């Protein structure tokens, strides 16, 4: 994740969305809509591993998970960690159960490797990803 953080070059135009997410998460760290928005920023700026870390954390928070699941599906497909039930995947189906089947073993290996620096804690990894986005786009 550190190598991606060093090479990630998002457009400054994403800054306002990151600021909105950061402000919302400061007020409520369990705001799944804010985490979903941050995952969208990462995914749309070619940082799918950071988006996946955010989704893994947000998926533990309860509340409305539709947006989180949709971004999780996209991450799994982009990183080769999941398989679509049908191709092409209808955008409206993203996040619906059965749209994307995770490759469980590959996802477990990926998660173990990428969360290892955070002692397996997706929450710590997601907060680190947020800090990267804020430093790059807001500060």
pLDDT confidence of residue 5:
81
* Strand-pair partners of 102: 82
Rounded to 5°, angle at Cα 53 from 83 and 98: 30
Q: How far apart are CA 131 and CA 94, in angstroms?
A: 27
pLDDT confidence of residue 1:
75
Note down pLDDT in tens along the chain; length 139 residues.
778 888 999 999 999 999 999 999 999 999 999 999 999 999 999 999 999 999 999 999 987 888 999 999 999 999 999 999 999 999 999 999 999 999 999 999 999 999 999 999 999 999 999 999 999 999 7
Instruction: State the burial class of residue 74 (Cβ atoms within 10 Å of its Cβ: 0-12, 13-18, 19+).
Output: buried
Q: Identify whether the C-beta of residue 43 lies closer than 8 Å to the C-beta of residue 133.
A: no
* Strand-pair partners of 100: 84
């Amino acid at each position: 994740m550190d190598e991606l953080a060093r090479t990630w070059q998002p457009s400054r135009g994403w800054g306002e969305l990151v600021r909105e997410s950061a402000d919302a998460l400061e007020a409520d760290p369990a705001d799944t809509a804010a985490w979903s928005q941050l995952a969208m920023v990462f995914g749309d700026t070619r940082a799918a591993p950071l988006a996946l870390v955010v989704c893994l954390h947000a998926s533990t928070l309860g509340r409305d998970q539709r947006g989180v699941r949709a971004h999780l599906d996209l991450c799994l497909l982009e990183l080769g960690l999941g398989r679509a039930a049908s191709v092409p995947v209808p955008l409206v189906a993203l996040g619906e159960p059965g749209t994307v089947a995770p490759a469980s073993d590959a996802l477990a290996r990926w998660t173990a490797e990428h969360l290892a620096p955070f002692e397996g804690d997706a929450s710590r990894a997601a907060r680190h990803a947020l800090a990267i986005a804020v430093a790059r786009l807001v500060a």
